A and B are shown apart, each in its own frame.
Chain A
């Protein structure tokens, strides 16, 4: 685990105290201290347990993040007249959830198709992003080649390019390929991402010892073989997180799929938009669709939320 911003030591207000001078007397001392403190096991090690006020505040925060989802479920289990009569829904769900769900599935919107499409796109993109990013990350982190430094900087720079702005020409390309309305128009542009390459490079740099690669090479393994049987297994923890992030991003993506897929072959967010356009007077039906679209990711979150949290926090620390 690496620590950032340790060079910012002298920025406290007022004159530095004895402790602070000691702390920053030597870079080495500061470094080892930072490393010691930065380790997850040591976090807050000297602190007492916080008071109950902290838990009350956190409970409020968690309620705020859950309530809108529960609100959606409450509306999805009631009826349109009920919603009009009681803008503040009772905390006990109604009995119409399954009615509303079947109305969603029987509506003119191809909802089932949308679920299938969303699953296909998210799974294919997650697998491919992980594979290509790990391949590139292995190369950047562990292989020597001319131009490696500048090329890696280029990769990082591309994460700041607002690629959404290229939608007009990208649409023209897809039109030339006759891919409009087809899933590959969404999948292909996202087969590998700069974020993924950077992420895997960072991870493999510290997780994959050179000795292992050498051993494989001495045994006569080709580069590809070395990648497959040494680098890929070593990359597994980071690869899992990358797959999760890609899955979530793909599942929730709307702008580009909406432009290129259209209404006949939608993904879930597009189907929700169609539901809204067709049934805007019946919120119970729309919210049933919303709940259906959210449930798969909530299940994923229950299973793998821990990894998502860890991934965000590691990504932040490594910058």
Chain B
């Protein structure tokens, strides 16, 4: 994200030229000047107006709702201060949903990025039918999470599912994918990984192809093998892309709703809330229990969790990947 101020063509007067309207007299000249002055703001205004109404306002209004009694049908009630927050924080279900969300998030993001890195490394070669392979890994991305959840929900079915049958065929016991905490998280994380690994693979692949090949040649001269090259050249050079992938998967992953909602037909996160996520919980409190004040409080708490985990993520990735890159942002070189 570099500065956009400097026009890169047409010499120093390009911008001034734009602001100059053809010489005409009177009204049309004034009109032309207003056209030049106002048009830029007019063109960006749809985004800003819409963002204020459906993005910014709801976010702050959530805070307002969260300190009131607020029913889906009754509407605004008394001001109750932080009562909604304290009630939520005392609920066991809330903490279960936090545990589930973080567990599913970790099970989906870490393996996903690792696998995406490996597939990208395989794809980063002088392949025949390049586009075919790239499209092949991207197919799951066009399948809706709801559809993915239905397919995998059946694959992971305790009795008639293909996965347990395969396990039984090789002499193992079937896993109770729906009933138990950790297995259900694995199943749900698998759905997320199925849909997003290919997408992230392509992001990482693009970044890999931008690594100057000389670096590999140099590493080769230094006697670095394939594996050493991957860890000492590829991974450090991919840092900005990896951070990008981690940030997007954090923001998206912690708001996960569709897959756990569709994991069984009731959509309440399992009999013991073993796979109820925070966003599922927001929906339950708000729309099933019709308690908007408390739902808004949960939304704010989730926002807080996302910010905290985002910061932790940032600190970890900064430490892992490099020393001398410190606060530098990613840099754009070519035009």
Contacts and interface: CB of A to CB of B under 8 A. Distances in A.
Given A23-B218, A61-B119, A144-B15, A206 B335 contact: yes
A296 B238 CA distance: 35
B310 to A, nearest CB: 8
Interface stretch (B85-93, B98-106, B208-216): B208-216
A301 B166 contact: no
Q: How large is the interface on B (under 10, 10 to 19, 20 to 34, 35 or more residues)?
A: 35 or more
B160 A5 contact: no
Interface in A208-229: 209-211, 213-214, 217-218, 220, 222-224, 227
Contacts of B21: 217
Contacts of B281: none
B25 interface: no
B265 A65 contact: no
Which of B209, B258, B282 has the most C-beta atoms of chain A within 10 angstroms of its own C-beta?
B209
A259 B241 contact: no
Interface in A257-283: 259, 268-269, 272-273, 276-277, 280, 283
B161 A135 contact: no
A171 B108 CA distance: 30
A92 interface: no
Interface string B64-108: 110000000000000000000000000000000000000000000
Given A5-B238, A305-B135, A316-B203, A145 B55 contact: no
Given A223-B35, A273-B267, A312-B138, A168 B324 contact: no
Size range of the chain A interface in the assembly: 35 or more
Interface stretch (A43-51, A101-109, A235-243): A43-51
A154 B65 CA distance: 26
Interface in A8-43: 8-14, 16-20, 23, 30-31, 33-35, 37-38, 40, 43
Nearest to B238: A5
Contacts of A125: none
A35 B333 contact: yes
A88 interface: yes
Nearest to A217: B18
Given A5-B239, A162-B306, A269-B147, A58 B1 contact: no
A240 to B, nearest CB: 16
Given A57-B122, A144-B19, A252-B144, A290 B57 contact: no
Contact of A220 (B22, B232, B287): B22
Nearest to A7: B331
Contacts of A124: none
Q: Which of A2, A8, A280 has the most CB of B within 10 A?
A: A8
B65 A210 contact: no
B50 A192 contact: yes
A309 interface: yes
- Could you say which of A13, A16, A286 has the most chain B C-beta atoms within 10 Å of its C-beta? A13
Contacts of B113: none
Interface string A81-97: 00110011100000000
Nearest to A134: B43
A312 B133 CA distance: 15
8 contacts: A2-B335, A13-B228, A46-B213, A50-B126, A88-B165, A165-B59, A254-B144, A318-B332
Interface of A: 1-14, 16-20, 23, 30-31, 33-35, 37-38, 40, 43-50, 54, 57-58, 61-62, 65-66, 68-69, 71-72, 75, 83-84, 87-89, 132-133, 135-136, 138-145, 148-149, 151-152, 155-156, 158, 160-173, 188-189, 191-192, 194, 197, 201, 205-206, 209-211, 213-214, 217-218, 220, 222-224, 227, 248, 251-255, 259, 268-269, 272-273, 276-277, 280, 283, 286-287, 290, 293-294, 297-298, 300-301, 305-306, 308-309, 312-319
Interface of B: 1, 3-5, 7-10, 14-15, 17-19, 21-22, 32, 35-37, 39-41, 43-44, 46-48, 50-51, 53-55, 57-59, 61-62, 64-65, 119, 122-128, 131, 133-148, 150-152, 154-155, 157, 159-162, 164-166, 169, 194, 198-199, 202-207, 209-215, 217-219, 221-222, 224, 228, 232-233, 236-241, 244, 247, 251, 254-255, 257-258, 261-262, 264-267, 279, 282-283, 286-287, 292, 295-296, 299-300, 302-303, 306, 322, 324-325, 328, 330-335
